[in-house]
Amino acid sequence: MSDVWTVFIDGQGNILHQHVYGGSGPEFFGKVSVDLSTNKIAFGVQSGSDVSGNKTTPRYGFFDGWVFTTDTNGVLLNEINLGGIANSITFLDDIVFTTNNKIFALLTSEEGIGGTKTLNGNGGSDAWLVELDLNLNITNQKVYGGTLNEGSRNLFLSGSNIVLSLASYSGIDGNKTEPNYGAFDNWFVCIDPSGGILWQKTAGGDQGENALIVGEPSPNNYLVVGNSASGISGNKTVALYVTGSSDLWLFKLNTTLSVESFESNIQLSASPNPFEEEISFSWDGVQEKVVLEILDLQGKIVESKVVSNATSYKWSPENLPPGTYLYMVKTNEGVGSGRILKR
DSSP string, 228-287: E---SBTTB-S--SSTTS-EEEEEEE-TT--EEE----S-EEEESSSBSS-EEEEEEEEE
How do residues 62-78 score in pLDDT, each as one tens digit?
Answer: 999 999 999 999 999 99
User: Do 295 and 325 form a contact (C-beta atoms < 8 A)?
Assistant: yes
Q: What is the pLDDT of residue 290?
A: 87
Q: What is the pLDDT of residue 329?
A: 85
Task: Give the rounded percent of residues in the chain with a pLDDT score beyond 90.
Answer: 55
Query: Is residue 146 pLDDT above 90, yes or no?
Result: yes
* Cα–Cα distance measured from residue 205 to residue 214, given in angstroms and rounded to the nearest whole number: 20
Task: Give the rounded percent of residues in the chain with a pLDDT score beyond 70.
Answer: 96
DSSP state of 221: E
Q: How confident is the model at residue 216 (pLDDT cuts 50, 70, 90)?
A: confident
Closest CA to 185 of 162, 204, 159, 164: 204
Q: What is the pLDDT of residue 289?
A: 86
Q: What is the pLDDT of residue 264?
A: 60
User: Do 63 and 92 form a contact (C-beta atoms < 8 A)?
Assistant: no
Q: What is the pLDDT of residue 295?
A: 81
DSSP state of 184: B
CA atoms within a 13 Å half-sphere pointing along the CA-CB vector of 122: 23
Closest CA to 102 of 217, 192, 180: 192
Against a cut of 0.75, is the pTM above it? Answer: yes
